Amino acid sequence: MHMLNVYLLRHGQTAWNADNNRYCGRTDISLTATGIRQAEAVKEQLKGITFDGVYSSPLERAFMTANIASGVHVKKDARLIEADFGDWEKKTKEEFIAENATLWHNWMEDPAKYKAGGTGESGMEIVTRVDDFFRELRERHASGNILVAAHNGVNRLYLAYKLGMPLKNYRMLVQENASITMFTLSAEGDFTLQHLNSKL
């Protein structure tokens, strides 16, 4: 049976991750020195694997991580971009809850329906675009190994969706900076989680 192995990466550390996890959706910031070292550690971890394709969110932090980790040509795909966090962008959770607690409450209760930060994307909008990317990827690559570099929000929501969890449970899935989550996609589109947050 032909299986496609997908190595899903969250980008390396950024200054905002280090700053009390300030929400960074579409803001295009770079990796810290630590983030670059993390991406180099991933390259070491994956050195025995030949990739048939490497894809990344168009944002610099994911693209740099993919570039360093793979050492091969990286294709950017807009569907892998981080969630649009609306009014939460650039703020920590403490800051935006103080401004409007209802927005956070709604998102926690049903992110599938409610928009992040009031004006951003809903969870269903996010998983639809990410799932569309992986469906197309499966058509393009029948088997082999693919590296995909994306973000904390989109990765966790997509995994929750594929595992049949309510999207509000996405926060139960950890995605550490520059750690690998590996899953397989079969020809029939069956999704199997092999490693979560792994240093393989």
* pLDDT digit string, tens, across residues 134-150: 999 999 998 999 999 99
| Separate counts of helices (H) and strands (E) for the chain | 7, 6
Establish if 129 belongs to a structural domain. Answer: yes
Token output for 108: 């926690």
Establish if 111 belongs to a structural domain. Answer: no
Establish if 96 belongs to a structural domain. Answer: no
Q: Domain residues for 146?
A: 3-86+123-198
The CATH number of whichever domain residue 62 belongs to comes to: 3.40.50.1240
CB atoms within 10 A of CB 197: 12
From the candidates 40, 60, 82, 188, which is the catalytic residue?
A: 82
Q: Decide if 82 is catalytic.
A: yes
From the candidates 2, 11, 105, 176, which is the catalytic residue?
A: 11
In this prediction, residue 1 carries a pLDDT of: 63
Sign, CA dihedral 172-177-180-185, equals positive
Token output for 107: 């998102």
CB atoms within 10 A of CB 112: 18
Establish if 59 belongs to a structural domain. Answer: yes
Q: pLDDT by residue (tens digit) across 31-88? A: 999 999 999 999 999 999 999 999 999 999 999 999 999 999 999 999 999 999 999 9
Establish if 106 belongs to a structural domain. Answer: no
Establish if 9 belongs to a structural domain. Answer: yes
Task: Grade residue 18 by pLDDT with cuts at 50, 70 and 90.
Answer: confident
Burial status of residue 87 (CB atoms within 10 A of its CB: 0-12, 13-18, 19 or more): middle
Percent of the chain with pLDDT over 90: 91
Count structural domains, the chain: 1
Q: Decide if 195 is catalytic.
A: no
In this prediction, residue 93 carries a pLDDT of: 94
Given a contact cutoff of 8 angstroms between Cβ atoms, the answer to whether 18 and 30 are in contact is no
Mean pLDDT of the chain, nearest integer: 95
Compute the average pLDDT of residues 164-170: 97
Would you put residue 37 in left (φ > 0), alpha (ψ -120 to 50) or beta? alpha
